[in-house]
Structure 1
Amino acid sequence: MSQRDGDNGTATSTDEVKPRWRLVGPGLVVAGTGVGAGDLVATLTAGSKFGYALLWAVVLGTLFKIALVEGAGRFSLATGRTIFQGWQTLGRWTGWYFGPYIVIWGIVYGATAMSSSALPLVALFPEGPDLKVWAISMGLIGFALVWLGRYGIVEKLMALFVGIMFVTVVGAAVLATPNLPDMVGGLVPRIPDGGLVNTLAVAGGVGGTITLAAYGYWLREKGWSTPGWMKVMRIDNSMAYVMTGIFVVAMLIVGAELLYSSNIAVGSGDKALIGLSDVLDDRYGEFFGKLFLFGFWASSFSSLLGVWHGVSLMFADYLGTSRGLAKDDPRMHSGGAYYRGYVLWLTFPSMALLFLDEPVAIILAYGVLGSIFMPFLALTLLGLLNTDRVPREWRNGLFGNVVLGVCALMFLAVGANELYKAVTGVF
């Protein structure tokens, strides 16, 4: 195998590059960030309602996310541009959408991530501080870990968290003893009665939203910046989303075997995972319930950490590019002024939301803007990867266009449903 090195694109010998498995990095960060409590709850709920009937949707959703992230990574490596710099070539409207979105998304997600990370800690330590204290602590720890913008620290921590998630989430699925014939039957595409929304949520919600677009920034932080890294990027991305698929399939197994088969309800939202830990307590002993709560925490905090780092890089690029700064301006990069400004925004204003019972206006705007991000990403990638914005050898083929086109249609349907819920308050 020959690989291209650094910024000069020169080939290096096999002896000079690490084995492929050791090159995996940014994809692991995407996987750790993208699989949060929301993904676990969505697949747990699908399994508890429909058994294995939506297993095919999990697999399909994983394949879609591989295609989207590969497209974002391919654009970055082929052109040397960030995804936002690519969006700008499609027209100013992209910045008019993305600017308000990333600002509103940040403050709402910040509060959500802190609360989600705190919830399992409250359950693990019932005599300890209350939820708000734990939540603020999680925000401050995330803030401290990413303030200097050290990508290597983030990657190592993500590897640790993904390992914890694998042991706990997949371990719970093994304990549940999956029914293999039913699983095979679940690979046949069908939508159960009353299950359209759940099907779309499972297929569309596997493995992150805005963090998919952050992949190109993590490639840059890793030092993968030329087309010579294209093959490695594709291996990295595929392995990451195979891992993501394993996590969500595991949660579907848990929902199908422990909840659906026993007709057990565990509540909604993140509290569903607390309810699941109680079920594991009852079935397999307190140790397994506590271990699952630890995995729940790892899943939530890894998402917080990845967003604090990756989306801050996106904001820095957005602000600097919008202001016409040079690409190498330090304010636009990890640890720079714009990056740190968004880390502050994610952390401290978000804490105020923890003390508001229903910050309706902000959450409504978050829902409206967020509902169209995934179709926005799919459609803009179609525009970027089929034109002379990308060298011909790296443009989409027929298969890539079909996959991204189906992605766009599916995410439009998911987005329309989310938009309806946000505007009407009907869930």
Structure 2
Amino acid sequence: MTEVQAKADYSPPTARPAPGWRGRLSYLGPGLVLAATSVGAGDMITSISGASLYGMGLLWVAALGLSIKFVVTEAVGRHYIASGTTIVAGVRTVAAWLPHLLFVFFLVVALVYGAGLSSVAALAVSTLFPAIPVVPASIVIAILAAAIVLYGRYTAFEQTMKWFILLKFGLMVTLAGITLAHLDDWGGFVQSLRPTFPSGSLIDVVALIGGVGGTAGIAAYSYWVREKKWNTRDWVPIMRIDAATSYAIVFVFVIATTIVGTGFVYGTGRSIKGADGLAALSEPLGADLGSATRVLFLVTFFMVVTAALVGGFNALAYLLSDSLRTIRQVPEDAAGSYVSEKSWVFRGFVLLCLTSSIVLVFTGRPVALVLVYAAVGSLVLPILSATLLVLLNRKNVTVSLRNGLASNAILIAALAMFVVLAAVQIMESF
């Protein structure tokens, strides 16, 4: 029996999860962090833009995309439980140069991520309170996001992200409910529920499928699983429920956002392009439903982006710390000096994200920064999918934790889809 097999097969009594559904649900956490991190302004723009053309008809596209990302996320968590190593450490066993490439990708994303998202969040604040300038608001938001990540350990961070989940998803569902209560054309709304295949290129469909859910957050899922000490085979069912809950919540968010888009954009000829267009949607909402609904929409917009900013800072600090540890070949048992929320390396990368955010926000080009982040971030998912296909088919992984036929088939499909999506994203950005 190999070391990996022995680790997967051995489960200390104190490490076993409590039996029953209530016990299992009490452990949920990393998936909620992932959901809060993954859903940002881009998901709102994608959902509302799709609704402006097709109403509710593209929900099947979102469901398919989230299902594929669930399989990738589950594989990330399963790899950690099977091997006791994070995905970045696993990447090095596939090719020694890959951690260097990932480090460059993560570093580029880290340099532009905070400035882009804090500027978008500040846009919501400035729209709500015109007297507040965007740049100072962006800086304050970035500082608050970094402070949340730097404060305390994972438990405190997870609790904070749960509050973000409750607020931003609750607010969006409330907006959807208000929209339905004031809907005039129920016939058109019901008709738009029929699944639609967008006219044009298959590439557009692939782009829509990949346009919901996270990128770097998926790679960071193994760190959050590690913090929960889900390190034996007994935790696999909990991890799968956790990951499934994450994407179920995201899908509810997409449904709610699509309802809002269908109610106020579908058939009007208006389109949502970028964060500016998203903020502008608050005006017709306010005109039709009153100022309270306008405020509610802008607060939701702010919460969605801010939660993604906080989760992104945490995820990127983990990924950069672990990439550096892997490049320097620091042993796993000494990883605490690198890959820990209390380590100087982790904190240093959080401060790097913050400093870059403050510097770049003065460029006044938040949309361009988000496009750079999206383009570079899209390159992570093909590498991740290919790596998981290799790692989870090795014979040193215990049989029950290896990929099955379904997992391999979906990961292959995901790899092809993410390659196309990366090409489309890069072409659109540059």
TM-score, normalization by structure 2: 0.89
Displacement after TM superposition at 1:131 (Å): 0.5
What residue is the counterpart of 2:82 in the other structure? 78
Once structures 1 and 2 are overlaid, which stretch shifts more, 14-23 or 285-294? 14-23
Alignment coverage as a number of residue pairs: 414
State the one-letter code of the partner of 2:255: V
Residue of structure 1 in register with 2:60 after alignment: 56
Which one-letter code corresponds to 1:131 in the other structure? V
Is 1:411 the counterpart of 2:418 in the alignment? yes
Map of 1:135-150 to 2, 5 A cutoff?
135-148=138-151, 150=153
Residue 274 of structure 2: SS of its match in structure 1?
Answer: coil
Give the CA deviation at 1:264.
Answer: 3.2
Q: Where do residues 97-246 of structure 1 align in structure 2 (5 Å cutoff)?
A: 97-127=101-131, 129-148=132-151, 150-177=153-180, 181-182=190-191, 184-186=193-195, 190-194=196-200, 196=202, 198-246=204-252
What's the offset of the Cα at 1:11?
6.2
Any conservation in 2 of the 1:154–1:305 contact (CA below 8 Å)? no
- The aligned amino acid for 2:96 is R
The alpha-carbon deviation at position 389 of structure 1 amounts to: 4.9
CA distance in 2, matches of 1:360, 1:169: 23
Q: Is the 8 A contact 1:54 1:199 kept in 2?
A: no
1:19 aligns with 2:28: no
Q: TM-score, normalised by structure 1?
A: 0.90
Asked whether the 8 Å contact 1:29–1:158 carries over to 2, the reply is yes
Distance 1:201 1:174, change over 3 A: farther
Distance change in 2, residues 1:15/1:387 (3 Å): closer
CA contact (8 A) 2:175 2:296 kept: no
Contact (CA 8 Å) 2:117, 2:366: kept in 1 or not? Answer: no
Q: Which one of 274, 277, 302 corresponds to residue 269 of structure 1? A: 274
Judge which range, 38-47 or 274-283, deviates more.
274-283
Question: Comparing 394-403 with 166-175, which one deviates more in the overlay?
Answer: 166-175
Verify: 1:396 aligned to 2:400, yes or no.
no
- In structure 1, the partner of 2:45 is 41
The equivalent of 1:291 in structure 2 is 296
Paired residue for 2:393? 386
Superposed CA deviations along residues 154-207 of structure 1, whole A, max 9, x for unmatched, are 211111111112222122222222857435412xxx532246555333210211
2:215 and 2:378 in contact (8 A); partners too: no
Gaps of 5+ in 2: 1-7
Alignment of 1:223-372 (within 5 A): 223-265=229-271, 267-329=272-334, 330-332=336-338, 333-357=340-364, 369-372=376-379
Q: Which amino acid aligns with 2:332?
A: K
Determine the C-alpha separation between the residues in 2 that align with 1:238 and 1:18: 16
Q: Distance in 2 between matches of 1:215 and 1:337?
A: 21
Deviation at 1:368, TM superposition (A): 5.3
Q: Distance in 2 between matches of 1:209 and 1:154?
A: 20
* CA contact 1:27–1:240 (8 Å) conserved in 2: yes
Residue 63 of structure 1, CA deviation: 0.5
Structure 1 residue runs of 5 or longer lacking an equivalent are none
Residue by residue over 1:252-283, the C-alpha shift from the partner in whole angstroms, topping out at 9 and shown as x without a partner, is: 22222210133334x42112221222222111
Contact 1:72 1:215 in 2 (8 A): yes
Q: 2-side partners of 1:42 and 1:363: how far apart?
A: 14
| 1:349 positional shift | 2.0
Quote the RMSD (CA, aligned, Å): 2.6
